[in-house]
Structure 1
Amino acid sequence: MSFRRDQQGLKENFILEVMEFSSDFFLLSSIFFFSSALLLFLHRRIFKPSLNRRLPPGPLGWPILGNMLDLGTMPHRTLFGLRPKYGDVIWLRLGSMNSMAILSAKAATEFFKNHDLSFAERTITETMRVHDYHKGSLALAPYGSYWRVLRRLVTVDMLVHKRINDTAIIRRKCVDNMLLWIEEEACKLEAKCGLHVARFVFLMTFNLLGNLMLSQDLLDPQSKDGSEFFTAMMGLMEWSGYANMSDYFPWLRWLDLQGLRRNMERDLGKALEIASKFVKERLMDRPVGAEKKKDFLDLLLEFEGNGIEEPAKISDRDLNIFILEIFMAGSETTSSTTEWALTELLRNPDSMIKAKAELMQVVGAKQKVEESDIDNLPYLQAIIKETLRLHPPIPFLVPRKAIRDTDFMGFDIPKNTQVLVNAWAIGRDPDVWDDPLSFKPERFIGSKIDYKGQHYELIPFGAGRRMCAGVPLAHRVLHLILGSLLHKFDWELDGNVTRETIDMKDRLGITIRKKEPLLAVPKKCNV
């Protein structure tokens, strides 16, 4: 591989940490809050019932903690199980935070089609307030003129169809490198020993984003800045994935009981420092009149606003934050989705056979999968859709927040209520999906349903104004990666696992991962 063995081990450890979700939060909250009940009851005013409001139904909850202990470590699954009792919309109290969970395609349709603007704000977690990250983030910025500037930069400048086409050669290079890394690693393994597939996809995606954003191979072992940036970003992703007591009991923020703010200040500060260095180096390397690289960084530097309702230029701080967000948004989601897709195919060998046969017919034995092939690979597209239906990367999407008191489906939803759209539950909605718990890519053959925000039964990337802006790029990358993995290699499960015994439990962090990482054996196709 193109990076040193010791660095590889370090990076693997960081990635495994990112995948972890700790339940310490729930233990700590129980111990602390029950021992501090007298102090916290001074805040009972926040739990006074809304006598004149008709709130959605929901579990009663505990004093002080509300429903926090009821949800457990897998709240997306818990809420899915509560729908038969309480219905499509559930009301929750999470500490001091009012929350509404949407659990069906019907409720999601009403939410995004008729109330999108009323819930256009975001819930900002304590860790995302560090260094004012949320103010420069497209995903988290307040809904308004500056958010529109960032959205336009992504959708009109960075990810317009022509620019995506122009960067296809970069994606092809990075995927080729990944295939080579896998092949080299497979040669070192003992027979029937699997390798950690998601790790290779994560590293490839991180390097791809470095090329698209900065025109740099950040995994180059000679790059000290690249290595430190990678390490800092791993920390940033890890701390973002923890449930934080300070979010549910704001008056305890000063204690930082879990140390998450302290850790985030360290790693986010380091990442911003290195991002700033990348920007300064670019500015020094491109004198006036010189040829531009025309990567994402150049587009940000060239932005010119009207200086009235939008800034004349992107500030240094927001520029650095935007760079980090590109890596935050793309690395984890791509690797987790690919891992789930390959897992499902190994559990369902008939689907694997169909996918490989389609690739052989369309691409041929001696050729590589190209992005231009995607439209001619309907079964591969169906596999990606079915994977995203069952395993959306972020099960609750990015939580919304009510900007005003709103009448929603006959319920009175107070201003500032957090909204959790449970895309995981919606993908299993028995009212719209036949045999919803089974992996059946065939359900999408001949169907017009897609994940681009217009079909509310399939919303792994959200919908409405604040839908993920990176879907056009994600669409290309996911198909290219999975298609290349299937075309290049035959895959088997690790020798100690069968398709009947493979662990399908998930673990919730910044994304929803397999609790036990997929270990699969690649064998180069004999073609």
Structure 2
Amino acid sequence: MELSSSPLLLLFLPILVLLVLVKWKRHQMIRKLNLPPGPPGLPIIGNLHQLGPLAHQSLYHISKKYGPVIFLKLGRVPTVVVSSADSAKQVLKTHDLECCSRPPLAGTGRLSYEYLDVAFTPYGDYWREMRKFCVLELLSLKRVQSFRFIREEEVEFMINSISEYSATGQQVDLSEKILSLTADVTCRAAFGKSFRGGGLDNDRFQNIVHEAVEMLGSFSAADFFPYFGWIVDRISGLYKRRERCFRDLDAFYHKLIHDHLNSTSNTKKLKDYDILDIMLEFHKNPNDSNSIQLTENHIKAMLMDIFLAGVDTGEITMVFAMAELAKNPRIMKKAQEEVRNLVGNKGKVSEADIEKLSYLKLIVKETFRLHPPSVLLLPREAMSKFQINGYDVYPGTRIQVNVWGIGRDPTIWQNPEEFIPERFEESPIDYKGQHFELLPFGGGRRGCPAIMMGVSVVELALANLLYCFDWKVPDGMKEEDISMEEGPGLSVYKKEPLKLVPIRYNMSS
């Protein structure tokens, strides 16, 4: 028996030695690379098993142990995650040129890359021209102001619809009402039409928006295992869901474009153009100063950004803001006193009043800090070697900025888990991309160009909800029972709909 086993031992001993040498050499190579710290992974899957359904929360807890810059191997993809203001500044500003590319995410491929979306393009002539077009033509201050009447009309419609619930003492689903508001404001400004009476019920519309955002933020095996992950996506049904979502959205955009092209009305003035009108004007009559020609796919790409970002993120911010106010009656009362003392008996808040509502603006900032709609900024990909906090980042590395984690950094924020608008009273920190402690819209050159458009709707709607109604939780509930649990997706929304009882404010009292 001993003699027969000796050849087997002699056969496997070199293999064992070779495996040990390979592992030792790999360990030495990793040390030499000077990579950021991170948890040990498993063969093949790396650190994927350490990410839960809410990846931003998992990454935040990992960063609390290993530091603000961590290295993970997500399947076959080397990934660096930053969770501090200083490290985010290095990514978004200091080393912007070294990591301005976007990784070819298979999981979002049909939803974004199909359209050659400018958000996923490295800097160059195409990116500069498209960015300039968006900022100067579509989302300029003048253009945002031209849509003021749309915002005020749609907010008034929402308030009137909530008043019907107030008259009967019923609870209202604020998540549904606010989603309808942001959908109608976005669609009227972008497409010139409202969804009210358009054959698309609110439940169906909410499902379409959340499905698209969930697909954009979903786990796709093909993203992390390029050679065989697509098989897993097909077996799991994710590929089929993604394709169906893409076809629905593509058909929707195609119809919008061709309805505008085939419109018989030639009397619309330039100042009354919606965003799609402006894009089609450039499509039909390109400007000689532009080096690009707007194609239908370019237009669909921008419609995708406007539609999903405009509808979903505004709703998320307002719902979380109202939920936090309902949980904190002191803050709710203080905000109501401010807006009611300013507006008096006028009956509604106009956009002209908003600039004087300083406490309301603090509430919006605090909501962006604690509940940023985009918890992880769209990933970047390193194009050349550079360093973050002294650690090496190599070409091909995916880079994520955990905005949610930065908003809970105890070295920046005192009592970071608490909703305290007053923390911004003496603080210069703002959300427009120049302060890396607060990045709900990103920062640097890839910061969201639609900040003014989005914030104007949020502030006007919140001001009117606070002015027109007192709010209480449904019978049998307490304020602390309101759930703040998050639902997964590219934009993280409040998982349970926010249902409150509105009580119409008596303006004469």
* TM-score interval, normalised by the smaller of the two chains: 0.7 to 0.9
Match of 1:468 among 433, 448, 463: 448
- Measured after TM superposition, the shift of residue 419 of structure 1 is 1.2
Relative distance call for 1:126 and 1:456 in structure 2 (3 A) is same
Moved over 6 A (4+): 224-231, 287-290, 306-309
Instruction: Look up the SS of the partner of 2:337 in the other structure.
Output: helix
Match of 2:125 among 145, 150, 171: 145
The question of 1:252 aligning with 2:222 is answered no
Amino acid in structure 2 at the alignment position of 1:144: G
The question of 1:119 aligning with 2:73 is answered no
The root-mean-square deviation of aligned C-alpha atoms, in Å, is 2.7
Relative distance call for 1:340 and 1:132 in structure 2 (3 A) is closer
Unaligned ranges ≥5, structure 1: 1-43
- 1:523 is matched with 503
CA deviation map 1:391-448 (0-9, x unaligned)? 1111112122212222222111111211111111111111121222221111112322
The question of 1:204 aligning with 2:176 is answered no
Give the conservation status (yes or no) of the 8 Å contact 1:205–1:335: yes
More deviation in 150-159 or 120-129? 120-129
Relative distance call for 1:290 and 1:390 in structure 2 (3 A) is closer
- 2:314 is matched with 334
- Measured after TM superposition, the shift of residue 78 of structure 1 is 2.4
Instruction: Look up the SS of the partner of 2:227 in the other structure.
Output: helix
Q: Which structure is larger by alpha-carbon Rg, 1 or 2?
A: 2
- 1:359 is matched with 339
More deviation in 246-255 or 128-137? 128-137
After TM superposition, the structure 1 = structure 2 runs for residues 75-86 of structure 1, keeping only pairs within 5 Å, are 75-86=55-66
Q: Distance in 1 between matches of 2:286 and 2:384?
A: 30
The question of 1:295 aligning with 2:271 is answered no
Instruction: Look up the SS of the partner of 2:464 in the other structure.
Output: helix
CA deviation map 1:94-122 (0-9, x unaligned)? 11111111111121223223112212122
Match of 1:395 among 375, 378, 400: 375
Q: Distance in 1 between matches of 2:200 and 2:485?
A: 37
More deviation in 276-285 or 477-486? 276-285
- Measured after TM superposition, the shift of residue 234 of structure 1 is 5.0
- 1:384 is matched with 364
Instruction: Look up the SS of the partner of 1:275 in the other structure.
Output: helix
Instruction: Look up the SS of the partner of 1:122 in the other structure.
Output: coil
Q: Distance in 1 between matches of 2:406 and 2:145?
A: 33
The question of 1:58 aligning with 2:12 is answered no
Instruction: Look up the SS of the partner of 1:490 in the other structure.
Output: strand
Relative distance call for 1:134 and 1:122 in structure 2 (3 A) is farther
CA deviation map 1:358-379 (0-9, x unaligned)? 1012222333112222211110
Match of 2:482 among 502, 506, 521: 502
Amino acid in structure 2 at the alignment position of 1:406: F
The question of 1:310 aligning with 2:287 is answered no
Amino acid in structure 2 at the alignment position of 1:126: A
More deviation in 286-295 or 149-158? 286-295
Relative distance call for 1:419 and 1:371 in structure 2 (3 A) is same
Q: Distance in 2 between matches of 1:258 and 1:279?
A: 34
CA deviation map 1:223-261 (0-9, x unaligned)? 479999887555433422322222111222442233223
CA deviation map 1:440-493 (0-9, x unaligned)? 111112322110001111111110111111111112111011111111111111
- Measured after TM superposition, the shift of residue 220 of structure 1 is 1.9
Instruction: Look up the SS of the partner of 1:121 in the other structure.
Output: coil
Amino acid in structure 1 at the alignment position of 2:220: N
Give the conservation status (yes or no) of the 8 Å contact 1:272–1:321: no
Q: Distance in 2 between matches of 1:427 and 1:369?
A: 30
Q: How many residues get paired?
A: 478
Q: Distance in 2 between matches of 1:314 and 1:230?
A: 30
Instruction: Look up the SS of the partner of 1:251 in the other structure.
Output: coil
Instruction: Look up the SS of the partner of 1:327 in the other structure.
Output: helix
If the length of structure 1 is used for normalisation, what is the TM-score?
0.84
- Measured after TM superposition, the shift of residue 186 of structure 1 is 4.8
CA deviation map 1:481-507 (0-9, x unaligned)? 111111111111122321233322222
More deviation in 233-242 or 336-345? 233-242
Q: Distance in 2 between matches of 1:225 and 1:305?
A: 37
Give the conservation status (yes or no) of the 8 Å contact 1:219–1:227: no
- 1:271 is matched with 249
- Measured after TM superposition, the shift of residue 149 of structure 1 is 2.5
- 1:217 is matched with 194
- Measured after TM superposition, the shift of residue 266 of structure 1 is 2.2
Amino acid in structure 1 at the alignment position of 2:419: F
Give the conservation status (yes or no) of the 8 Å contact 1:218–1:227: no
Amino acid in structure 1 at the alignment position of 2:239: R
The question of 1:492 aligning with 2:472 is answered yes
CA deviation map 1:333-381 (0-9, x unaligned)? 1111111111111111111111001101222233311222221111000
Relative distance call for 1:501 and 1:131 in structure 2 (3 A) is closer
Give the conservation status (yes or no) of the 8 Å contact 2:409–2:416: yes
Amino acid in structure 1 at the alignment position of 2:335: A
Q: Distance in 1 between matches of 2:396 and 2:201?
A: 40
More deviation in 209-218 or 318-327? 318-327
- 1:428 is matched with 408
Give the conservation status (yes or no) of the 8 Å contact 2:373–2:492: yes
More deviation in 79-88 or 429-438? 79-88
More deviation in 281-290 or 424-433? 281-290
The question of 1:242 aligning with 2:215 is answered no
- Measured after TM superposition, the shift of residue 510 of structure 1 is 2.7
Instruction: Look up the SS of the partner of 2:39 in the other structure.
Output: coil
Unaligned ranges ≥5, structure 2: 1-21
Give the conservation status (yes or no) of the 8 Å contact 1:233–1:267: no
- Measured after TM superposition, the shift of residue 288 of structure 1 is 7.6
Give the conservation status (yes or no) of the 8 Å contact 1:136–1:322: no
Amino acid in structure 2 at the alignment position of 1:449: I
- 1:262 is matched with 240
Q: Distance in 1 between matches of 2:167 and 2:26?
A: 64
Q: Distance in 2 between matches of 1:194 and 1:181?
A: 12
Instruction: Look up the SS of the partner of 1:302 in the other structure.
Output: helix
Q: Distance in 2 between matches of 1:519 and 1:247?
A: 37
Q: Distance in 1 between matches of 2:382 and 2:343?
A: 48
More deviation in 478-487 or 375-384? 478-487
Identity between Structure 1 and Structure 2 (%): 34
Q: Distance in 2 between matches of 1:231 and 1:76?
A: 23
Q: Distance in 1 between matches of 2:160 and 2:174?
A: 13
Q: Distance in 2 between matches of 1:513 and 1:444?
A: 24
Give the conservation status (yes or no) of the 8 Å contact 1:120–1:465: no
Q: Distance in 2 between matches of 1:131 and 1:395?
A: 19
Give the conservation status (yes or no) of the 8 Å contact 1:121–1:142: yes
- Measured after TM superposition, the shift of residue 319 of structure 1 is 1.4
After TM superposition, the structure 1 = structure 2 runs for residues 41-190 of structure 1, keeping only pairs within 5 Å, are 50-51=29-30, 52-130=32-110, 133=113, 135-187=115-167
Q: Distance in 1 between matches of 2:322 and 2:337?
A: 16
